[in-house]
Amino acid sequence: MTIDGQSVTVPPGTLIVEAAKNVGVEIPVFCYHHKLDPVGACRLCLVDIAPGPPRPQTACTTPVAPNMVIKTQSAMAVQARAEILEFELVNHPLDCPVCDKGGECPLQDFTFRHGYPTSRIDGPRLHFKKPIPLSANIALDRERCVLCYRCTRYYDEIAWEQELTTGQRGVQSFITSQFDQPLTSIFSGNIIDLCPVGALTSRVWRFESRPWDMTQTGSVCSKCAVGCSVTLWQRRGQLVRVTSRENDDIDEGWICDRGRFDYTDVNDPKRLRVPVVKGAGSTWNTAIDALAAGIKGKGPKLGISLPQDLTNEEAFLFRRLLDGPLKGAKVKMHGRTALPEPDPNQLLIKEIDDARVIVVVASDTEKDVPVVNLRIKKAVSKRGAQLIVVHPDGVDLDRNPHTVHVRNAAGSAAAEVEKLASHELLKSPGGPVAILFGDGHGSEDAADLAAACAELASKVGGKVMPLYRATNERGALDAGVAGWDKLDGVQALLSWGPPPTAGIPSSVKFLATWDHLQRPDHSRAAVVLPATTFAEQQGSYTNLEGRVQFLRPPIPVAEPLKESWEVLTELAVALGLELGYTGIFAVQRDAAQTLPGLADLAEPPSPTPVPTPVLIGPAHP
């Protein structure tokens, strides 16, 4: 087929908009989104197709055919698109200066590239009350809305939620939440990224900056074990925004609201920046010496609480300490599951797409691994997979009427999984089976369950995926530091990250904390070290499928903050262990050689370059 004189070969069934991307021809779209089903509502993608009727047709709903000749620049197509853009602008308010989308707005860009050069719109515009808070995090501006229905379709198709809908009809149509109740879905933030205009904007980022003020860095989310790709936006040394970054292996461009909105602690003015010894500011040397003195030689009387977003590098250095001066210390990692180490040939997230039957055991995926939950939904609703859930309570996957929900008594999931082998759906699944299992937040015997799932997988021809929860649980398991010890009775405690969930044991006589925020417990601490956050430190996480991904900090480490590898190395020296690392790359190289699970640390890939927008010459009629 030919697009604007360039011939292009694409697989059958490809839509014209997608084919045009291959040859760098821009066909403007509002309603079309490559992850949503096409609807042809905005009519902006009109092109001239031959052979065909002598009128413009939508490129977003028309699949290619052999020898098709498509003209995006014929007088008819150019005029049709300009007219649609003019229609979009008839009621669009002149909000660009105060609109958070201004500067990265497809409506602005398309109007410049495809619209009429001068405005012919006069007369009053339509008005709505604005802005309307859709939830604590999202603001809705109905005047700016072009009614592309991306948000409602996303809610319907991807998130399986019924919270967002359209009210009224005709020119009075507006987007509204169901019964005007605030949105509660954990996936709500994605509609901000989807919105092609400034109708849905983040209230967390609201008016923080204009898009051109910020620099962006492609990094990894640190909130759970899925490890979605995110873009971190920095302005004046502050992390001002987090958006999704499409990675088809993991997240397909969706992130959950935890990853998107839960970042303001990085910019907290009350953050710890200086080491504190006995309530007074001090130098790093003094603080580390005081810490070393408090924890040295304590053996099993020393307790250490690890944060869930410990990087692989930190885990490796910590392992060196555990093998040496801190031998015997009790370690407890935050938020981890009781799941054992995974099968090396485990299921990958993208393989869920092709599964014919998906079995989810002892996990409410929406809360534990949100974006994996979206994958499951995609496999079910778009690819027709069957779904079996084993869980004592109702879960969000039950929204599909065909879900087979086995309600087990807490603790009996392993027994139920064993019975599943003879289940009707699994007798001849007709393709791969995906078995995902959690630990029921401690209610199940994780080892039994893992064994039962592995056995089921071998019987029905499938793969298993243990659903870890802590961000870098896999990396900590690989490094051998993912402790599960009880901290009761320890005399000295190093609380790294937030304080232990069970609270600080009363037996503790020496408390040291290493955290980025001030917390009430710190008043008891003899030593408080300031920590860096995911937005400042370098390092890597291993996600629940075993993929090692690197953090790309958008914000420099501001003195007197120190990177964690440096702190750990200095602590090792103070404890009498000479590590001799001069930089994080040395740590990574050493870790890759020492621990087979961290072999991927050897060669950190170069950062993903920031994509440059496709600009095609003016198409004014």
Partner 1 sequence: MPDEKDQESVIDDVTALAKGLKTTLGEFFSPVVTTMYPEEKSPRAERYRGRHYLRRYDNGLERCIGCELCAAACPVGCILVIAAENTEEKQVSPGERYAKTYEINMLRCIFCGYCEDACPVQAIVLGPEYEMSDVSREKFIFTKEKLLEPLPPDVEARLKSKEQK
Partner 2 sequence: MPELRGTVGGPVVTEWFGTQDLYKLDVYKQKGGYAALRKAMVDMKPVDITNEVKTSGLRGRGGAGFATGTKWGFINRDMPGPKYVVVNADESEPGTSKDRYIIENSPHMVLEGIMIAAYAVGANQAWVYIRGEYDEPYRMLTEAIAEARAAGYLGPKPMGIDFPLDIRLYRGHGAYICGEETALLESLEGKRAQPRSRPPFPAVKGAWGRPTLLNNVETLATVPWIVNHGGSEYAKRGTEKSPGTRLMSVSGNVKKPGVYEVELGQTFRHVIMELGGGPPDGRNVKVFWPGGSSAPVLPESMLDTHTDMEALAAARSMGGSGGVIVMDDSHCIIRAAHRLLKFYAHESCGKCTPCRVGGDWAVRTYERILANEGSQVELDILQRVSDALQNGRCLCGLGDSAGWVIDSTIRHFRSEYEDHALRHECNVGAVTALA
Residues of this chain that bind partner 1 (CB under 8 A): 97-98, 102, 131, 206-210, 212-213
Phi and psi, residue 452, nearest 5°: -65, -40
Distance between CA 418 and CA 526 in Å, rounded? 51
Distance between CA 532 and CA 304 in Å, rounded? 18
Q: Which long-range contacts (CB under 8 A, 24 or more apart) does 446-452 make?
A: 446/337, 446/338, 446/339, 446/340, 447/340, 448/414, 449/361, 449/362, 449/413, 449/414, 449/417, 450/339, 450/340, 451/414, 452/413, 452/414, 452/415, 452/417, 452/418
Q: Which residues pair with 138 in a beta bridge?
A: 202
Interacting span for partner 2 (CB under 8 A) from 123-131, 239-247, 383-391, 398-406: 123-131
User: Residue 585's binding partner, choosing from partner 2, partner 1, none, with beta-carbon cut-off 5 to 8 A by kind?
Assistant: none
- The bridge status of strand 46-50 relative to strand 2-3 is unpaired
For partner 2, the closer of residues 120 and 427 by Cβ is 120
Shortest reach from residue 97's CB to partner 1, in Å: 3
446-460 helix and 413-420 helix, angle to the nearest 10 degrees:
10
User: Residue 206's binding partner, choosing from partner 1, partner 2, none, with beta-carbon cut-off 5 to 8 A by kind?
Assistant: partner 1
DSSP 8-state assignment for residue 565: H
Does 123 bind partner 2 (CB under 8 A)? Our answer is yes
Q: Which residues pair with 47 in a beta bridge?
A: 57
Query: Pick from 307, 314, 371: which is nearest to 499 by CA?
Result: 307
Interacting span for partner 2 (CB under 8 A) from 131-139, 170-178, 454-462, 500-508: 170-178
Shortest reach from residue 170's CB to partner 1, in Å: 27
Concatenate the DSSP letters of all residues of 449-472 into one string.
HHHHHHHHHHHHTEEEEE---STT
For partner 1, the closer of residues 238 and 537 by Cβ is 238
For partner 2, the closer of residues 344 and 384 by Cβ is 384
Query: Pick from 261, 240, 141, 104: which is nearest to 190 by CA?
Result: 261
For partner 1, the closer of residues 97 and 401 by Cβ is 97
Interacting span for partner 2 (CB under 8 A) from 41-49, 181-189, 328-336, 562-570: 41-49
For partner 1, the closer of residues 124 and 430 by Cβ is 124
- Give, as ranges, the residues between 124 and 153 that touch partner 2 (CB under 8 A): 124, 126, 146-147, 149
Interacting span for partner 2 (CB under 8 A) from 115-123, 271-279, 301-309, 430-438: 115-123
User: Residue 131's binding partner, choosing from partner 1, partner 2, none, with beta-carbon cut-off 5 to 8 A by kind?
Assistant: partner 1
In 3-state terms, what secondary structure has residue 520? Answer: helix
Lookup: tokens for 24: 């760098």
Amino acid at residue number 43: R
User: Residue 335's binding partner, choosing from partner 2, partner 1, none, with beta-carbon cut-off 5 to 8 A by kind?
Assistant: none
- Give, as ranges, the residues between 68 and 107 that touch partner 2 (CB under 8 A): 80, 83-84, 86-88, 90-91
Does 48 bind partner 2 (CB under 8 A)? Our answer is no
Give the DSSP H/E element, type plus range, for residue 220: strand 215-220
Does 118 bind partner 2 (CB under 8 A)? Our answer is no
Do 575 and 326 meet the contact criterion of CB atoms below 8 Å apart?
yes
Shortest reach from residue 213's CB to partner 1, in Å: 7
User: Residue 321's binding partner, choosing from partner 1, partner 2, none, with beta-carbon cut-off 5 to 8 A by kind?
Assistant: none
Concatenate the DSSP letters of all residues of 337-372 into one string.
----PPPTTPPPGGGGGG-SEEEEES--HHHHSHHH
For partner 1, the closer of residues 102 and 411 by Cβ is 102
Query: Pick from 175, 115, 180: which is nearest to 151 by CA?
Result: 175
Shortest reach from residue 144's CB to partner 1, in Å: 12
Does 464 bind partner 2 (CB under 8 A)? Our answer is no
Does 199 bind partner 2 (CB under 8 A)? Our answer is no
Shortest reach from residue 148's CB to partner 2, in Å: 9
In 3-state terms, what secondary structure has residue 473? Answer: helix
Amino acid at residue number 375: R
Amino acid at residue number 418: E
Does 55 bind partner 2 (CB under 8 A)? Our answer is yes
User: Residue 280's binding partner, choosing from partner 1, partner 2, none, with beta-carbon cut-off 5 to 8 A by kind?
Assistant: none
In the complex, which residues of this chain contact partner 2 (CB under 8 A)?
A: 38-44, 46, 53, 55-58, 61, 80, 83-84, 86-88, 90-91, 120, 122-124, 126, 146-147, 149, 165-166, 168-173
